[in-house]
Structure 1
Amino acid sequence: MANRSEIKKGKRKKKTLKILGSIIGILLLAGAGYAYYVYSSVKDTVGKMHDDSEWSGSDKRDDELNLSNQDPISILILGVDERKGDRGRSDTTIVVTVNPKTNSMYMTSIPRDTRTEIIGKGTQDKINHAYAFGGTKMAIETVENFLDIPIDYFMKVNMESFKGIVNALGGVTVNNEKFGFSYEGHNFPKGSLNLSGEEALAYSRMRKQDPRGDFGRNERQRQVINSIIDEGAQLSSITKLGEILGVMGDNITTNMSFDEMKEIQSNYKGARKNVQSLEIKGRGGKINGIYYFNVSDEEKKRISSLLKEQLEL
Structure 2
Amino acid sequence: MVYSIPRDSLAEMADDHGGNIQKINAAYEIGKAKMAKKTVSQFLGLPIDYSVTVDMGALKELVDFVGGITIDTVIDVNLNGQVIPQGHHHLNGDQALAYSRMRYQDPRGDYGRQLRQQEVLKQVAQKIQKSKYLMNIGDLMTKLGQKISTDFTADQVKQLIRNYHQSSGEIVSSQLLGKTAWLNGSAYQIISTEDLQAASNRLREN
- What TM-score comes out, normalization by structure 2 length? 0.89
Structure 2: stretches of 5+ with no match in the other structure: none
Aligned length: 204
1:179 aligns with 2:72: no
Q: How does 1:47-86 map to 2 (within 5 A)?
A: none
Summarize the Cα distance change of 1:238–1:174 in structure 2 as closer, same or farther, 3 Å threshold: farther
2:12 aligned to 117, 121, 126, which one? 117
Q: CA deviation at 1:241?
A: 5.9
Summarize the Cα distance change of 1:182–1:162 in structure 2 as closer, same or farther, 3 Å threshold: same
Q: How does 1:64-213 map to 2 (within 5 A)?
A: 106-120=1-15, 121-122=17-18, 123-176=20-73, 178-213=74-109
Check the 8 A contact 2:54/2:147 in 1, yes or no: yes
Query: What is the alpha-carbon root mean square deviation over aligned residues?
Result: 2.1
1:228 aligns with 2:124: yes
Q: Which amino acid aligns with 1:137?
A: K
- Distance (Å, rounded) in 1 between the aligned partners of 2:7 and 2:67: 30
Summarize the Cα distance change of 1:172–1:137 in structure 2 as closer, same or farther, 3 Å threshold: same
Check the 8 A contact 1:172/1:224 in 2, yes or no: yes
1:281 aligns with 2:173: no
Rg bigger for which structure?
1
Instruction: Determine what percentage of the aligned residue pairs are the same residue.
Output: 36
1:251 aligns with 2:124: no
- What TM-score comes out, normalization by structure 1 length? 0.60
1:170-198, Cα deviation, whole Å (9 max, x unpaired):
3222222x222322222212222111211
The aligned residue for residue 7 of structure 1 is: none
Q: CA deviation at 1:299?
A: 1.3
1:22-79, Cα deviation, whole Å (9 max, x unpaired):
xxxxxxxxxxxxxxxxxxxxxxxxxxxxxxxxxxxxxxxxxxxxxxxxxxxxxxxxxx
Instruction: Give 3-state SS (helix, strand or coil) of 1:256's partner.
Output: coil
After superposing the two structures, state which structure 1 stretch, 260-269 or 184-193, moved more. 260-269
- Distance (Å, rounded) in 1 between the aligned partners of 2:166 and 2:123: 17
